Structure 1
Amino acid sequence: MNTENIIGLIILITFYVSYFTKAFLQSRNGIKTDRMGKGSKPKKTLIIEICLKISTILIALIQLISIIFIKKLPLILESNTIRYIGFFIALLGVIIFITAMATMRDSWRAGVDNTQKTKLVKAGIYKYSRNPAFVGFYLLYIGISLSFSNVINILFTCATILIFHFQILEEEKFLPTIFGQDYLDYKNSTCRYIGAKK
């Protein structure tokens, strides 16, 4: 295993271990983190969540295979510079993702959840993005697909990011029913992904 394999595996393992550690810690407090495709919600939301769940499992496997078998899968971008830029982007995604989870505390959920009480978090990283965890996912996926740029990895990255976007749109319909005007004001003052609103 060479340096690129090791760096890729460390980034990937750190990301997924942080996610499952958060879910485990919440479950010890009686909080059900994974609400994807579960509960009473509109059919369109359920379908998007189920597609997203399948897609995120598949892309994790594809990323792992891409990292382990880098020499056997033909790469579109074989530049070491691009590979290390990809590592930097992926690592930035991990940092943003962990920061978002930590900031959300016990209000962290995966999927639309109308069964458990949560708080609308607007502080910390959420002042700059309404969806920093999704930004973290995007950067991880983009970074890994640049570093290990086989066709399957790139195609699944694009497809999964698109499904994540549909998931965000569904959540944006749901959140006003829970948080009311407070969420609408937040939505009007903070970007969906990242940046500044006037």
Structure 2
Amino acid sequence: MNNTQLLALLLLVVFYGAYYKKTLLQKKKGIKTNQLGIGNKNQRTIRVEKGLRIASMIIVPIEVISILYNQSQEQLFFKNLGLILIGLGVVFFCMAMWHMRDSWRAGIPATDQTELVTTGIYKWSRNPAFLGFDLTYIGVLIAFYNPVLLVVTIWVMVMMHLQIIEEEKFLKLVFKEAYEVYCQRTGRYLWLV
């Protein structure tokens, strides 16, 4: 195993480890973090959330296998670019979880009361956690490219985008004008987009 592979695996451990740690901490408080595909939601939302759940479970072993079996040191520029994007993804994701505090959920909460967070990293992105996922997925793809990883990465990113659209509908219903104002001043992914 070379240093590029080792660093990529370490970054993925931090990324996914942070998610699972947050899930466990919220569970101790009686909060069910992962609500993908469960609860009383419309059929489209259930389909999108179940698709995202499946895609996000499949991509993890594909990423690990891609990292472990791509030992090429060629294209060092792409390896380094990929590692930088993975690192940025970890930072965005961890900051998003930290700023969201106990309002953090995966999926649309059927009954939980949450607050609209618009400060911290949420001042620059309405979806910094999804941006963190996307940067991580793109980084792994660039550094350890293979056709299977490409297909799965596109699939999971499309499912995440569809999930964002479903969540936006929900947030407009719950937070009404406050969310509309937030959408006008803050981009879906970054301040410009």
Distance across 1 between alignment mates of 2:131 and 2:185: 18
Unaligned runs of 5+ in 1: none
Aligned 1:61-140 pairs, distance under 5 A: 61-71=61-71, 78-140=74-136
Distance across 1 between alignment mates of 2:14 and 2:55: 20
Unaligned runs of 5+ in 2: none
Distance across 2 between alignment mates of 1:69 and 1:160: 21
Distance across 1 between alignment mates of 2:29 and 2:20: 14
Q: Secondary structure at the match of 2:109?
A: coil
Aligned-pair CA distance for 1:196: 4.1
% of aligned pairs identical? 41
Aligned length: 193
| Deviation per residue, 1:142-184 (Å, 9 max, x gap) | 0000110011111111111111101101111111121111111
Q: Secondary structure at the match of 1:112?
A: coil
Distance across 2 between alignment mates of 1:189 and 1:169: 17
What amino acid is the match of 1:114?
A
Deviating above 2 A after TM superposition, structure 1's stretches of 4 or more consecutive aligned residues are none
1:150 corresponds, among 124, 136, 146, to 146
Distance across 1 between alignment mates of 2:119 and 2:76: 38
What amino acid is the match of 1:166?
L
Aligned-pair CA distance for 1:114: 2.9
What amino acid is the match of 1:68?
L
